[in-house]
Amino acid sequence: MPENPVVPRPEYPRPQFVRAAWQCLNGTWQFERDPGDSGLERGLLDRDLTGEIIVPFCPEAPLSGVGDPDFHPAVWYRRTVEVPEEWAGQRVLLHFQAVDHDATVWVDGVEAGRHRGGFTPFTCDLTAAADPAHTYTVVVRARDPRSGPQARGKQATTYEGRGARYGRTTGIWQTVWCEPVPGPHLGRPRITPNVAASAFRVTVPVSANRAGHEVRVTVSDQAGELVQARARADLDLSAEVWLPLPDDRVRLWRPEDPHLYDLRIDLLDGDGAVADTAASYAGLRSVAIDGHAVLLNGEACFQRLVLDQGYYPDGLMTAPTDEALRRDIELAVAAGFNGARLHQKVFEERYLYHADRAGFLVWGEFGDWGANTGGPAGDNQQPTATFVTQWLEAVERDYSHPSIVGWCPLNETWQRLHDRITVLDDVTLGMYLATKAADPTRPVLDASGYAHRVPGADVYDSHCYEQDPEVFGKLMAGLAEGEPYVNADRDGTAWSVPYRGQPYFCSEFGGIWWNPDVRPGESSWGYGERPTSEEELQRRFAGLVGVLLDDPRMFGYCYTQLTDVFQEQNGVYRFDRTSKLDVSRIRAAQHRPAAIERARPGAQAPTSTTSPTT
């Protein structure tokens, strides 16, 4: 098969756990649709496939070279992988950053792994003892059924996207790559900052506990090495290293100064030689709750979030370039936002890398839409056990990123509250408790908007798309009396357990419909009545934002949304990321201290950032 002259998305896909040797497998793969999901019986495992595709773009995306938006119950991929000679004698790990939805991988005709879930990575052992003279044949089958409960995010179950659902993604949609590792080798570390002690706790799993082996972690900054510590790696499945920083080299990670420390992690053998090594980084920051405030490093930091859905016209859920990921953060900052709710999708990890470097606050979310099977009222949501397992994989992948300040496993799981415990109740509580167990350092929102099913969850929220600022203000005013706006069914039937005084924010609002270039007959929508002019839009935006900024019990908000997404045209920017309104006025409306910041001494007002050109 001819090689691509330019490998798409060639950057290292796992920037917080970097080994020097690796091979990007993006580019041209053999490809074949399998509409009857009969490919295994028809011999697709053992023969060349009839078409080609550009990985990591899905077959629905134009950038894949296929560009077929129809349903794909099953698809097949095939390519050869030649192991470099210098990898001889090592194990070779084959990584898939994301395959939607059920994947099976064969290597030289032998099944090497299976994985369920379209958003999280998995790894296969390409070979137990790599032979540099051997070329391996990798075959992947991805199944993506149209019906049934499945964590789909915003993928449409109708042929054409409609409302707030868009084009589908099937199969490989993030980078495929491989790397060599020695027999005993490092696993991905968990890096936990401890601001109170000015230290990091680094937990490092190892593949084997060999006598005499140690883990060594070194922390450095721009001026050089700060601290180094070791721990035995032959007693526990994971070695744990404690790294207190010198007082004169302590520098917190915060939006105004997103300082990152470099980490080097070594596995030492019994003779003290380096058996395996990897590079990482970390930010020293804390997240806490005090009354109605969510604190960053002990200070109130009003979260001016924007809803980011991570879709692109030519790549769908896959960014066309790494620069496009970074650019989305720059565009949000230019509009006055200091963070984003990553909506209904587990974003590519490279996005979080850029957020870490930019000081951009992030709420990690799971793409849980797809559990609503349309059953009887009160039992319409049918999430399965795999929702919990997939979400835990996402939390584990992203645990060490300082930009993440909160977790949101579910979104708008509307279902009537009644006197029976339902599957939704079980899974919501399970995902909440699993998140708290996996990460006790960040607040967890049990379900964004509705249905809240965990009494006393860390935070509480609502979604409100009222377009009149005066009416919006009246709806939000109840928070002062401990009776905030809560989403409910149209007849008033409750979806959620009552509010219990937690920190509260309006995590979806606005969504102002604005497309100055809309053509007759074009599919276009937003919330409420479309403004007649940009001036009206700007006044509406400032009024809505002002209501929330001036509420002393509101810890943040999330405005819908960063960009238009296909027919949903309520973004600050167009779908192609060009400007469609005066972004400086959007920024100015947000660029003042919020009431909760003014009420707490030492709180930081937003700082000025140079707006990038658009």
Is residue 170 classed exposed, middle or buried when 0-12, 13-18 and 19+ CB atoms within 10 A define those classes?
A: buried
Tokens 């938006």 found at: 69
Where in 144-245 does DSSP place strands (E)? 171-172, 176-181, 190-194, 199-205, 214-221, 224-232, 238-244
Sheet holding 122-127, edge to edge: 23-24, 176-181, 91-96, 122-127
**Residue 87 DSSP code:** G
Beta-bridge partner residues of 488: 494
Q: How far apart are CA 581 and CA 18, in angstroms?
A: 40
- The pLDDT, as a whole number, for residue 613 is 39
Q: Residue 530 is encoded by which pair of tokens? A: 């479309």
* Residue of 262, 238, 225, 236 whose CA lies nearest to 190: 238
| Distance, CA of 175 to CA of 26 (rounded, Å) | 6
Residues 6+ apart with CB under 8 A from 539: none
Q: What is the CATH number of domain 23-181?
A: 2.60.120.260
**Contact (CB, 8 A) for 509 and 472:** yes
What is the DSSP track for 445-487? Answer: -SSBSS---STT-S-EEEEE----HHHHHHHHGGGGGT-----
Buried b (16+ CB within 10 A) or exposed e, 563-585: bbbbbbbbbbbbbebeebbebeb
Residues of the chain with CATH 2.60.40.10: 199-283
Using CA atoms, how far apart are residues 190 and 283, in angstroms rounded to an integer? Answer: 13
Residue type for position 312: Y
- Burial-class residue 242 by CB neighbours within 10 Å (0-12, 13-18, 19+): middle
Please classify residue 147 by burial: count the beta carbons closer than 10 Å to its beta carbon, then call 0-12 exposed, 13-18 middle and 19+ buried.
exposed
What pLDDT is recorded for position 9? 98
Judge whether 170 and 72 are in contact, CB under 8 Å: yes
CB 269 within 8 A of CB 213: yes
Q: What is the pLDDT of residue 401?
A: 98
Cβ-contact 380, 45 below 8 angstroms: no
Cβ atoms of 126 and 178 closer than 8 Å: yes
- What span, in angstroms and rounded, lies between the C-alpha atoms of 224 and 201? 20
CA distances from 483 to 31, 123, 443, 499 (A): 55, 48, 21, 7
Beta bridge partners of 171: 100
Question: Helix H segments across 299-377?
Answer: 322-334, 349-358
The residues near 192 (Cβ < 8 Å, ≥ 6 apart) are 200, 201, 202, 203, 400, 441
What pLDDT does residue 174 have?
98
Task: Count helices and strands (H / E) in the chain.
Answer: 8, 31
* pLDDT recorded at residue 519: 80
Angle at 254 between CA 248 and CA 257, to 5 degrees: 70
Question: How confident is the model at residue 376, as a pLDDT?
Answer: 83
**3-state DSSP of 529-557:** CCCCCHHHHHHHHHHHHHHHHCCCCEEEE
User: Alpha-carbon dihedral of residues 531, 534, 536, 542, nearest 10 degrees?
Assistant: 120
Low-confidence ranges of the chain (pLDDT < 50): 1-2, 4, 608-614
CA distance 192 to 282: 8
As to burial, measured by CB atoms within 10 angstroms (0-12 exposed, 13-18 middle, 19+ buried), residue 483 is exposed
Domain limits, CATH 2.60.120.260, in the chain: 23-181
Q: What is the pLDDT of residues 255-308, one digit of tens each?
A: 999 999 999 999 999 999 999 999 999 999 999 999 999 999 999 999 999 999
Q: What local confidence, expressed as pLDDT, does residue 132 receive?
A: 64
- Tokens linked to 513: 């419909």
Q: Which pTM was predicted?
A: 0.95
DSSP single-letter state for residue 16: T
State both tokens at 374.
Answer: 């349309």
Residue 560 parent element (H or E): strand 554-560
Best CA proximity match to 298, nearest among 201, 196, 200, 400: 196
Domain 199-283 has CATH 3.30.750.24: no
For every residue of 298-314, which 3-state class applies, written as one string? CEECCEEEEEECCCECC
Sequence-distant (≥ 6) Cβ neighbours of residue 481 within 8 angstroms: none
CATH of domain 299-597: 3.20.20.80
* The 3-state secondary structure of 223-257, one letter per residue: CEEEEEEEEECCCCCEEEEEEECCHHHCCCEECCE
What 3 state SS string does 111-122 have?
A: EEEEEECCCCCE
- Residues of each domain in the chain carrying CATH 3.20.20.80: 299-597
- pLDDT tens digits, 431-473: 999 999 999 999 999 999 999 999 999 999 999 999 999 999 9
Residue pair 156/168 in contact (Cβ under 8 Å)? The answer is yes
**Cα gap 340→121, rounded to integer Å:** 22
Token digits for 107? 């290597």
Helix (H) or strand (E) holding 96: strand 91-96
Task: Please provide residue 220's backbone torsions phi and psi, each rounded to the nearest 5 degrees.
Answer: -135, 160
